[in-house]
């Protein structure tokens, strides 16, 4: 995989000749709606064969291992080389990729959920079904998700039940506070969870309690201990979704009840929700600016083992109508494909912010209103995957699988081998 940024005067024919690949392979990798129209500043994934190194005069396996930052034994295993001293000029050496775990949150059931998992299952270790809900009485809200679980398993994807404090369409601080204050209700809830997981074929529980009152921090920790004991004694994994904190004592309703060290100790892994800086009710900004993501990771790795951290990655963008007015402006969530369509429709070049490692652009609509769009492309996903390597993390977690970003998958598999359990 290579990434090419479109310049003025480019055509797909010219790009395909430059890289000696077919136009159809470029169109397929990027799921292009209109191959005859390109946008200046648009990034394109250029599909290439698997990473292969052609041995040059004077090269050794040690030198090749240093070039690609992989171990000699890993190269030997990948290429069935028994003697590391016996390689020859012109030999094709396949470079092994690091293995990571990948989770994706799924918000749809039925035919649409099945289709999404059919399309993305090859790139996932887990999918988390969003969502099952707690109740004040300990009764588990449920979903008709049997068919998507079956599709996931046919693709080798491990299904996780995602448990939330959703009430209606929002996370409820009051609901989770009532729940955490009653041990009997929690035990009843955990019994219902275990029974449902066994019945439907779930293999792990992902807890996503958000906007928990700071006063309930220790109660949340105690519930997590009970949940971890229940899950592990029944052969299930347990994981949690954590707000993106940059310090242990970060103030705010989203952050204070999320105790990183306790979650890191009790769970099998955590999902860091490293997105939503550019949130719908806030001013225009990158959804996951990489400089801010790294600030979260700098703290997280001091409190949670690196091999337990999945870094959150967004699969969506946003379109803000300008001027932004706090409390009034609500950005529209857009897919990657829609972000590209709007740039084409309004004839604007795409820019790239190197600090945030994110593409963006502005346009004027038919009514004369100005807009600002931020989203992710192949370049920004590459920056995210380099960050996973840099910090030595367990892997990645996507929000959400129904918001597709086609080039992402090519970038993912060019960097990593996705683990299947």
pLDDT in tens, 155-208: 999 999 999 999 998 999 999 999 999 999 999 999 999 999 999 999 999 999
pLDDT at 68 (0 to 100): 83
- Cα–Cα dist 213/176, whole Å: 9
Residue-wise over 208-225: b if at least 16 C-beta within 10 A, else e?
bbbbbbeebbebbbebbe
Percent of the chain predicted with pLDDT > 70? 100
- Both 150 and 72 in one domain: the answer is no
Q: What is the residue-averaged pLDDT of the chain?
A: 96
Enumerate the active-site residues. Answer: 210
Tell whether 355 and 306 lie within a shared domain: yes
Q: At residue 92, does pLDDT exceed 90?
A: yes
For strand 126-133 and strand 370-374, is the pairing parallel, antiparallel, or unpaired?
unpaired
CATH code: domain of residue 386: 3.20.20.80
Q: Are residues 77 and 133 in the same domain?
A: no
Lowest mean pLDDT among 18-22, 66-70, 355-359, 387-391: 66-70
Does this model's pTM top 0.85? My answer is: yes
pLDDT at 52: 87
What's the domain count of the chain? 3
If pLDDT is split at 50, 70 and 90, which confidence band does 69 have? Answer: confident
CA separation for the pair 181, 213 (Å, rounded): 12
Using the predicted structure, report yes or no on whether residue 237 has a pLDDT greater than 70: yes
pLDDT value for 50? 65
Report which secondary-structure segment, H or E, holds 61.
helix 61-68
Q: Are residues 40 and 171 in the same domain?
A: no
Q: What is the pLDDT of residues 275-311, one digit of tens each?
A: 999 999 999 999 999 999 999 999 999 999 999 999 9
Q: Is residue 6's pLDDT more than 70?
A: yes
* CATH number, domain with residue 67: 3.10.350.10
Do 90 and 180 sit in the same domain of this protein?
no
Residue-level pLDDT at 242: 98
Quick check: 244 and 273 in contact, CB under 8 A? yes
pLDDT surpassing 90 at residue 130: yes
Look at residue 372 and tell me whether its pLDDT is greater than 70.
yes
Same domain? For 223 and 79 the reply is no
Instruction: Assess whether 79 and 37 both reside in one domain.
Output: no
Q: What is the pLDDT of residue 1?
A: 83
pLDDT (0 to 100) of residue 80: 95
Which of the residue ranges 53-57, 240-244, 249-253 would you say has the lowest mean pLDDT? 53-57
Q: What phi and psi, each to the nearest 5 degrees, are found at residue 172? A: -110, 115
Domain shared by 60 and 133, yes or no: no
125 strand-pairing partners: none
pLDDT at 25 over 70: yes
The domain in which residue 26 lies consists of 2-46
* Radius of gyration over every alpha carbon of the chain, rounded to an integer in angstroms: 23
- pLDDT tens by residue, 30-59: 999 999 999 999 999 999 866 788 999 999
| Count of helix runs (H) and strand runs (E) in the chain | 14, 20
* Residue 214 and residue 356 in one domain: yes
Closest to 342 (Cα-Cα) out of 323, 369, 382, 315: 369
* pLDDT-wise least confident of 90-94, 122-126, 380-384: 90-94
Strand partners of residue 160: 128, 204
Q: Are residues 384 and 242 in the same domain?
A: yes
**107 and 146 share one domain:** yes
Choosing from 94, 119, 154, the residue where a domain stops is 94
Whether 77 and 125 share a structural domain: no
């Amino acid at each position: 995989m290579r990434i090419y940024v479109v310049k003025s005067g480019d055509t797909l024919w010219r790009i395909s000749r430059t890289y000696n690949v077919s136009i159809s392979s470029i169109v397929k990798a990027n799921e292009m709606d209109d191959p005859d129209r390109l946008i200046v500043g648009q990034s394109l994934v250029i599909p290439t064969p698997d990473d292969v190194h052609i041995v040059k005069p004077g090269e050794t396996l040690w030198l090749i291992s240093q070039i690609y930052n992989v171990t000699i034994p890993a190269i030997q295993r990948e290429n069935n080389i028994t003697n590391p001293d016996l390689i020859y000029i012109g030999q094709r050496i396949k470079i092994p990729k690091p293995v990571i775990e990948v989770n994706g949150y799924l918000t749809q059931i039925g035919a649409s959920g099945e289709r999404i998992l059919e399309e993305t299952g090859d790139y996932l270790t887990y999918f988390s079904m969003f969502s099952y809900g707690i109740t004040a009485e300990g009764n588990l809200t449920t979903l008709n998700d049997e068919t998507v679980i079956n599709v996931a398993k046919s693709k080798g994807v491990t299904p996780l039940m995602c448990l939330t404090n959703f009430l209606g369409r929002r996370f409820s601080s009051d609901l989770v506070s009532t729940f955490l204050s009653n041990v009997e209700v929690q035990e009843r809830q955990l019994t219902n969870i275990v029974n449902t997981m066994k019945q439907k074929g779930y293999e792990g529980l992902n807890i996503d309690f958000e906007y928990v009152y700071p006063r309930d921090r220790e109660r949340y920790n105690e519930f997590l201990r009970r949940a971890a004991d229940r899950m592990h004694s029944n052969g299930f994994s347990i994981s949690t979704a954590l707000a993106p904190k940059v310090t242990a004592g970060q103030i705010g309703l989203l952050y204070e009840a999320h105790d990183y060290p306790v979650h890191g100790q009790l769970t099998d892994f955590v999902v860091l929700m490293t997105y939503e800086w550019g949130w719908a009710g806030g001013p225009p900004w990158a959804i996951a600016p990489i400089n801010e993501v790294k600030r979260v990771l700098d703290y997280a790795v001091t409190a949670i083992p690196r091999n337990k951290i999945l870094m959150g990655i967004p699969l969506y963008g946003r379109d803000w109508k300008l001027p932004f007015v706090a409390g009034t402006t609500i950005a529209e969530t857009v897919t990657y494909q829609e972000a590209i369509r709007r740039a084409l429709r309004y004839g604007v070049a795409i820019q790239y912010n190197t600090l945030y490692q994110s593409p963006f652009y502005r346009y004027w609509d038919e009514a004369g209103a100005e807009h600002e769009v931020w989203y992710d492309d192949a370049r920004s996903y590459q920056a995210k995957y380099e960050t996973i390597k840099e910090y030595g993390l367990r892997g990645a977690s996507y929000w959400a699988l129904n918001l597709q970003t086609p080039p992402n998958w090519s970038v993912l598999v060019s960097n990593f081998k996705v683990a299947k359990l």
